[in-house]
Amino acid sequence: MPHASLGRRAGLLLPLFSARSTRSWGIGDIADLARLGPWLRASGFRLLQVLPVNDMATGQTSPYSALSAMAIEPLYIAVDDLEDVQALGDAAFPADAAARRAAMNASAGVPYAEVMAIKGEALRRAFEHFRNTDWAHDTPRAKDLRAYIDQERWWLDDYAMFRVLHDHYDARAWWEWPAGLAAHEPEAIAEARAAHADAVLETCWTQWVAQRQWEQARRELDGIALVGDLPFMVSADSADVWARQSLFSREASVGTPPDAFSETGQDWGLPVYLWEAMRADGFAWLHARGRRMAAMFDGFRIDHLVGFYRTYWRPANGDTPYFEPRDEDAQRQLGEEVVAAFASAGAALIAEDLGTIPDFVRASLDALQLPGYKVMRWERQWHTEGQPFHDPATYDPISLATTGTHDTDMLADWWETTTDEEREAMLALPSLREAGFTATQPYDDRLRDALLATLLQSGSDLVIFPLQDVFGWRDRINVPATVGPENWSWASPIPVDRLLDDAVARERAQTLRAMVEASRR
């Protein structure tokens, strides 16, 4: 089955929340995507991969547990760029916001609560200005919002109503709402829509301004492919599950069997797909997710791809976990149907195929010509004596090669904490052996660049580096199977709009560009 391709290029992995600039409010925002563009171009990078940008669950900072598979997280709106904020000036913000801004941008991590307080208030005041000056007089901006609502109604109607009710009922889960609303009954929803019309309009306005900023950022990233990340599932307390209750079960949760990240496996606390109901519905919701992702990104990574072939059910009653479907043939059929649904909108697909992947899934990915991951530190000949590393030059072109993901430690820490035997095996790769490194080699700039160059010379069409590995930084994005303020909060210590003003970052760009050009990407 042919899929759209991103071609042969190199790029950067950077969560949007990490891409903070001097114009941010403590968190990277949509406009910061474009502000990163000049440094990407100077580095020869033609791809930017981000983590999910969906509206996050209340009180959560993980982008993989969302209130919506379709909506953009409002915290990512660049509030200074909003016409209504500009019209209000300082009156758009709480009284002490300007004084707090510098401290927020200088904080080691994203201060989510403070960001919510300031941006939430600015968005509320901006909407009031829009409602009074544009909506009330049916201006061209009002007409554009109406057109947006009509065009996106297929997901926006349910999301806006859910978001409003979720706030109205103090963030209680939808199954704790009044019965008619909890059951998504049309009459109850119509009454609620009328009762909360202004709040529903505000929610639609928020998504409209986010979408228009997203479209502008993509135009300014001209020539740089923007790659998104499609989470395996949304939260049980989400607009999607509320509106499509027959397609999901809350009597079990999604997880993983024991693996390298967890001796007992993982329980993500997310609802499970009812696959036969999904199939009877023509996988309509998955088609819709693919369509939404294709509208926002040039390509996207399918998170936990193996779960779409066989979902690991963890029954809420404590029964033994199991895979669904149970039969291998049924699993392969399901996975390929799901991939076809995601591919139908035309965006390029990337399979997150890390962890324990059955041979039949590997065979399926090969048949589908779907690029999977090559994390260099894990690409070894496991059944050969000494378990030598695969030479990246031999990687299949239909793959994505990388030094790490948002779930791994950074390359510098990996090098310094791994065994002498593993370092020796890595240094046996031709390009590194010729450089004369030894297993006692400290992780310095020379070794860092030799590892980056080795991966850029790989056979993989796509090579992506986390920003931390480009610089040799050690800050992690997430530690799997843990919950804490350190996860999902790291921000670049160099503002992304100042990377070309920073001597170290400018040198990095020059060095990377030479490496990228040598790799003909």
Q: Are 291 and 345 in contact (CB under 8 A)?
A: yes
pLDDT tens digits for range 92-107: 999 999 999 999 999 9
pLDDT value at residue 61: 93
Supply φ then ψ for residue 385, to 5 degrees: -55, 130
Domain containing 105 equals 9-150+210-518
Residue 490 half-sphere exposure, CB side, CA atoms within 13 Å? 19
Q: Are 508 and 516 in contact (CB under 8 A)?
A: no
Residue 389 within any structural domain of the chain: yes
Count of CB atoms within 10 A of residue 322's CB?
Answer: 13
Which residue, chain included where needed, has tokens 């090669």?
401
Do strands 372-375 and 311-315 pair parallel, antiparallel, or not at all (unpaired)? unpaired
Residue 205 within any structural domain of the chain: no
Residue 439 within any structural domain of the chain: yes
Closest CA to 177 of 192, 157, 190: 192
Supply φ then ψ for residue 437, to 5 degrees: -75, 160
User: Can you spell out the DSSP letters for 92-129?
Assistant: GS-TTHHHHHHHHHHSSB--HHHHHHHHHHHHHHHHHH
- Give the domain CATH number at 237: 3.20.20.80
pLDDT value at residue 481: 78
Q: Are 457 and 519 in contact (CB under 8 A)?
A: yes
pLDDT value at residue 393: 97
pLDDT value at residue 356: 87
Q: Are 66 and 52 in contact (CB under 8 A)?
A: yes
CA distances from 139 to 59, 130, 374 (A): 36, 10, 51
pLDDT by residue, tens only, the chain of 521 residues = 557 999 999 999 999 999 999 999 999 999 999 999 999 999 999 999 999 999 998 888 999 989 999 999 999 999 999 999 999 999 999 999 999 999 999 999 999 999 999 999 999 999 999 999 999 999 999 999 999 999 999 999 999 999 999 999 999 999 999 999 999 999 999 999 999 999 999 999 999 999 999 999 999 999 999 999 999 999 999 999 999 999 999 999 998 888 766 777 888 899 999 999 999 999 999 999 999 999 999 999 999 999 999 999 999 999 999 999 999 999 999 999 999 999 999 999 999 999 889 999 999 999 999 999 999 999 999 999 999 999 999 999 999 999 999 999 999 999 999 999 999 999 999 999 989 899 999 999 999 999 999 999 999 999 999 999 999 999 999 998 788 889 999 999 999 999 999 999 999 999 999 999 999 99
User: Can you spell out the DSSP letters for 208-240?
Assistant: HHHHHHHHHHHHHTTTSEEEEEE-S---SSSHH
Residue 286 within any structural domain of the chain: yes
Q: What six digits make up the tokens of 419?
A: 């065994």
pLDDT value at residue 293: 98
pLDDT value at residue 58: 83
Q: Are 447 and 439 in contact (CB under 8 A)?
A: no
Counting the structural domains of the chain, the total is 1
Residues 202 and 69: their CA atoms lie apart, in Å, by 19
Q: Are 472 and 448 in contact (CB under 8 A)?
A: yes
Residue 346 within any structural domain of the chain: yes
Q: In what side-by-side order are the strands of the sheet with 372-375?
A: 348-351, 299-302, 225-230, 47-49, 9-13, 462-466, 399-402, 372-375
Helices 153-168 and 140-151: crossing angle, nearest 10°? Answer: 100
Q: Are 130 and 205 in contact (CB under 8 A)?
A: yes
Residue 120 within any structural domain of the chain: yes
Closest CA to 70 of 242, 278, 245: 242
Residue 198 within any structural domain of the chain: no
246 residue type, one letter: S
Q: Are 6 and 299 in contact (CB under 8 A)?
A: yes
Q: What six digits make up the tokens of 358?
A: 């059955």
pLDDT value at residue 519: 97
Residue 345 within any structural domain of the chain: yes
State the Rg of the chain over Cα: 23
